[in-house]
Structure 1
Amino acid sequence: MLTTNDTPYQIDQPVVFFPGTLCDERIFNSCWQHLDIPMRAFVPLQWAEDLAQMKMLSADRLAYFEQPVHLVGYSMGGYIAALTALENQSRVASLTLIASACDELPEKEIQQRQQLLKIIKNKQYRGITEKRLKCFFHDCHQQHSEYLNIVKQMDQDLGAAVLAAQISAVQPRKNLLPDLAKCPFPVHLVSGEQDDLVSESTMLDMHKLLPNSDMTLIKNAGHMLPIEQSRALAEYLASKIA
């Protein structure tokens, strides 16, 4: 909750948010509490059954606004936001990628996803494990039950069918960096300092390949940056967009 001293950061331009795998609005709720964005939209990627539907939902949200839109994507949502930006360049004011890579998946990650799809197909998926859950968070937050429970609840509510659809939708994954490097709009890269899924070196490599980009690391955050450092992320977004 906001206190009387926590005045929301103002953003008076349209912003469209894209959630990550097995995420819904709850991934951004804490951050939104620190932001005043009259022109805000959210792409419910959890509703989509495949990539085509993800693109359709994204285009629909862009159409809410007449002026160019700022796209903000978290994790998998960053990749979908980047795809959307590339296909609608004249409609995009900026692209912000939160803990998100837009290159091809490493072979190890591809194998892990294929194994997970097999587990889901065999009806053996029992939800996220405690070990896996804690990997998403900075060391200082791995015992923070409020933060952990947000992710647990999204996993339980959205379930195996949504997870399978989202994994399948973005696999195989095209490397978008060469095309993003040619885009006229700025690309803002931001991640937690201890992200075990999208490392600092990965973000730095992206930054080097994108001449139109800047890069920021936020302290005391892992992959769940929007939950772990919601106010810092809100301040960051306001500084880049407002």
Structure 2
Amino acid sequence: MKQQLLLLPGLMCNEKLWSKMNLTNYKTFDIPREDTIDEMVEQLHISFAKHKEPINLVGFSLGGYLALKYVIKYPTRINKALIISSGIDSLKETEILKRKKMLETLKRNNINSLSFMAISQLLEDKTNEENLDIINQMFDELGLEVYNQQLFATMRRKPLFDELINVTSPIQFLSATNDSLVNLEPINKLCEMKDNFQLKTLDTDSHMLPLEYEHFLYKEIQNFF
């Protein structure tokens, strides 16, 4: 691909998320440390400013949601966007409660790493030590302060369906069919209504597609961009 890819990771993820994919001509960005999603989008706009041509965005999970918010607010700045393991609706209250409880447990016990149970919920293969280690490394590098900030700044997410209706840029979603964190129903509906939206799914429950399905994802990125 000629044009550089701009990569946005997910909650408590950094550039290590993309480390297994052997991508070239790309630049990774951290989730901005801002207090609201709108402020995060504005900070990304500042970071993207040096890229004069319409940009190619790849967003994973929370990064996918932020990428879509960016597309909605700055449609002329986007060439294409690939959205991985990310929904377009609000987080379920059960998921918000689960994240709050996890943060409280970590703080109360002065723990700086996620439990095996917490990590394994994101993975299909719960025995892959390399992937478990990458997730732990990312969490350790970012730390509890960042987790607290990202959690509370992004837990109340607005549904994006009505705003995405007006988007004309090519948008492709990649998701597991049984990812408990992604509701595919509104995405399917959007794709049925708009030709510029596409959804491809894998028959798995993995949320961490860049780690577990890196070869598939690499090919999709090459084909889409």
- Cα deviation, residue 18, structure 1: 0.6
1:208 aligns with 2:170: no
Distance in 2, Cα, partners of 1:175 & 1:125: 33
Question: What percent identity do the matched residue pairs reach?
Answer: 26
Distance in 2, Cα, partners of 1:82 & 1:187: 9
Equivalence map 1:1-242=2 (5 Å): 11-31=1-21, 33=22, 35-37=23-25, 40-45=26-31, 48-51=33-36, 54-119=40-105, 122=108, 124-138=110-124, 141-198=125-182, 202-210=183-191, 211=194, 212-218=196-202, 222-241=206-225
- Cα deviation, residue 25, structure 1: 0.2
- Cα deviation, residue 163, structure 1: 0.6
- Cα deviation, residue 122, structure 1: 4.6
CA offsets per residue over residues 173-213 of structure 1, 9 Å max, x none? 11112101211112211023442322xxx224312124231
Contact 1:89 1:183 in 2 (8 A): yes
CA offsets per residue over residues 67-109 of structure 1, 9 Å max, x none? 1111111011111111111111101112211000121111212
**AA partner of residue 15 (structure 2):** E
**AA partner of residue 81 (structure 1):** A
**Gaps (5+ residues) in structure 1?**
1-10
Q: 1:126 to 1:66 in 2, by over 3 A?
A: closer
**AA partner of residue 74 (structure 2):** N
Distance in 2, Cα, partners of 1:112 & 1:152: 19
Contact 1:221 1:228 in 2 (8 A): no
RMSD: 2.1
Q: State the SS of the aligned residue for 2:180.
A: coil
Q: Which has the larger displacement, 91-100 or 125-134?
A: 125-134
Contact 1:43 1:57 in 2 (8 A): no
Distance in 2, Cα, partners of 1:121 & 1:226: 29
Query: How does the TM-score come out when normalised to structure 1?
Result: 0.83
Say how many residue pairs are matched.
Answer: 221
- Cα deviation, residue 133, structure 1: 1.0
Contact 1:70 1:94 in 2 (8 A): yes
Q: State the SS of the aligned residue for 1:207.
A: helix
Q: 1:229 to 1:221 in 2, by over 3 A?
A: farther
Distance in 1, Cα, partners of 2:106 & 2:203: 35
Q: 1:74 to 1:190 in 2, by over 3 A?
A: same
